[in-house]
């Protein structure tokens, strides 16, 4: 039924927040494909040992993991606006320190900047949860997927800015890092238009209307809830495998004799594939169920690994990275939707922070492993790339097994 004056749109506030968050995802979020494209290449130019080339990317993710729980607590107490503003300021600071590292040819400084940038990455990770905060149950999957879909803009803006700025100054990549500083400082003003109550206000509102059934659960109790446990596992595996493969891709592409611009184009195609399906992922979840979409995501991730193993022709890199993006989208948005439906506003500060700490802990491990597999396993870039793709098998087995276990388990039964 179309909303009228007598029946106003119950999701009016949610739609406004989704618009703000989508703009932030598309514009400020463009820094992540920029930094992921250049992080390994810049690290390779600064590090004394090529095995540590992807360490800057690992530090992005480690910073995100370490800041996930405190960032979630800040947002729970002071509101999303404060947390997201802190994130953009940290992003500017991280890019500034990274620029100093490039200027002084200091790998240690460059790594310190990467760690600071992880605070921004953590804050950006909460955009998807913020989209669900004021949304009704029926609008929630579309709210999450709409914000994720805005990453399409980031997929185009980021790599194009890399092409324009990476060689714009005498010191390679310095122009890109200076651009990221400006993006963060300008983007901080976006969050003035966000209208999401702080945690205490939301809790009071939920309690007033009687929708606070689980407010007393501890983190351990929530982790023993089967759907929460499986949501975290699938999110962890989807994001870790995406990072494992994407982190090593620029090194593999350049190592196999292609150009830096080819690597940027492949990353662009990958990020487009990450966010493009978001226009219909929410509808698919509503129609077919979140578990099926998560399972489809894992199957597509497996397909990406198979294509990666099939050869190192440029078109195969493109196909593998496109499949990787689509698989991540279905797996990660599905897991986010499942998790968002299993906790109350009073619990979100605990479980969302814990979720992202676990997820980005796995992603940190994956990004560290990626550089070692790519550069230090086998005697050539081809052998390293094959090792990266083979490493996906045990993680996919874990997540697929968890989904099958959930499907076979009686509903409502908690873990012992």
Residue 182's SS3 state is: helix
Q: State residue 215's pLDDT score.
A: 52
What residue ranges define each of the domains in the chain, with the CATH number in brackets? Answer: 13-408 (1.20.1250.20)
Q: What is the DSSP letter of 311?
A: -
Q: Which of 79-88, 312-321, 401-410 has the lowest mean pLDDT?
A: 401-410
Helix (H) or strand (E) segment spanning residue 174: helix 174-187
State the average pLDDT over residues 292-309: 96
Write phi, then psi, for 398 (nearest 5 degrees).
Answer: -60, -50
Please write the tens of the pLDDT for every residue from 133-142.
888 878 888 8
Of 56, 33, 40, 61, whose CA–CA distance to 255 is shortest? 40
**7 or 210, which is more confident?**
7
Q: What is the DSSP letter of 225?
A: S
For residue 88 the two structure tokens come to 């953009």
Task: Give the residue carrying structure tokens 């968050």.
Answer: 21
Q: State residue 414's pLDDT score.
A: 57
**368 or 81, which is more confident?**
81
State the average pLDDT over residues 210-232: 77
**Mean per-residue pLDDT of the chain:** 86
Q: Is residue 9 over pLDDT 80?
A: no
Q: State residue 406's pLDDT score.
A: 93
Alpha-carbon gap, residue 195 to 111, rounded angstroms: 35
Q: State residue 132's pLDDT score.
A: 84
Residue 287 class from Cβ within 10 Å (0-12 exposed, 13-18 middle, 19+ buried)? Answer: exposed
**Are 206 and 269 contacting, i.e. CB atoms less than 8 angstroms apart?**
no
Please write the tens of the pLDDT for every residue from 161-212.
988 998 889 898 999 999 999 999 988 999 999 988 775 444 544 443 344 4
Q: What is the DSSP letter of 413?
A: P
Please write the tens of the pLDDT for every residue from 82-129.
999 999 999 999 999 999 999 999 999 999 999 999 999 999 988 988
Of 343, 351, 303, 344, whose CA–CA distance to 327 is shortest? 303
Cα torsion 8, 9, 13, 17 to 10°: value is -160
Q: Is residue 281 over pLDDT 70?
A: yes
């Amino acid at each position: 039924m179309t909303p009228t004056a007598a029946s106003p749109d119950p999701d009016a506030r949610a739609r406004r927040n989704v618009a703000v968050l989508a703009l932030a995802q598309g514009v400020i979020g463009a820094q992540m494909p920029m930094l992921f494209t250049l992080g390994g290449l810049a690290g390779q130019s600064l590090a004394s040992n090529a095995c540590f080339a992807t360490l800057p990317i690992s530090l992005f993710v480690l910073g995100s993991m370490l800041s996930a729980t405190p960032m979630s607590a800040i947002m729970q107490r002071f509101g999303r606006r404060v947390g997201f503003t802190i994130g953009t300021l940290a992003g500017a600071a991280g890019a500034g320190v990274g620029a100093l590292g490039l200027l002084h040819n200091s790998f240690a400084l460059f790594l310190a900047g990467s760690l600071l940038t992880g605070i921004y990455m953590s804050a950006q990770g909460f955009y998807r949860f913020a989209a669900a905060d004021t949304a009704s149950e029926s609008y929630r999957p579309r709210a999450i997927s709409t914000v994720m879909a805005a990453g399409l803009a980031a997929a185009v803006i980021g790599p194009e800015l890399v092409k324009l700025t990476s060689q714009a100054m005498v010191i390679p990549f310095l122009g890109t890092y200076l651009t990221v500083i400006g993006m963060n400082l300008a983007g901080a003003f976006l969050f003035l238009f966000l209208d999401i109550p702080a945690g205490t206000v939301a809790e009071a509102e939920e309690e007033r209307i009687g929708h606070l059934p689980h407010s007393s659960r501890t983190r351990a109790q929530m982790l023993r809830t089967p759907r929460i446990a499986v949501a975290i596992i699938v999110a962890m595996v989807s994001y870790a495998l995406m990072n494992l493969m994407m982190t090593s891709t620029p090194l593999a592409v350049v190592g196999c004799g292609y150009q830096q611009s080819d690597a940027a184009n492949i990353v662009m195609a990958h990020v487009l594939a990450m966010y493009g399906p978001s226009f219909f992922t929410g509808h698919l979840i509503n129609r077919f169920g979140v578990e099926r979409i998560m399972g489809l995501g894992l199957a597509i991730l497996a397909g990406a690994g198979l294509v990666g193993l099939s050869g190192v022709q440029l078109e195969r890199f493109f196909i593998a990275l496109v499949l990787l993006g689509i698989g991540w989208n279905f797996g990660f948005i599905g897991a986010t939707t499942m998790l968002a439906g299993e906790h109350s506003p009073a619990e979100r500060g605990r479980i969302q922070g814990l979720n992202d700490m676990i997820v980005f802990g796995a992603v940190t491990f994956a990004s560290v492993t990626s550089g070692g597999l790519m550069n230090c396993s086998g005697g050539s870039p081809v052998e390293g790339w094959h090792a990266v793709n083979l490493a996906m098998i045990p993680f996919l087995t874990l997540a697929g097994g968890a989904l099958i276990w959930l499907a076979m388990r009686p509903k409502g039964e908690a873990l012992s």
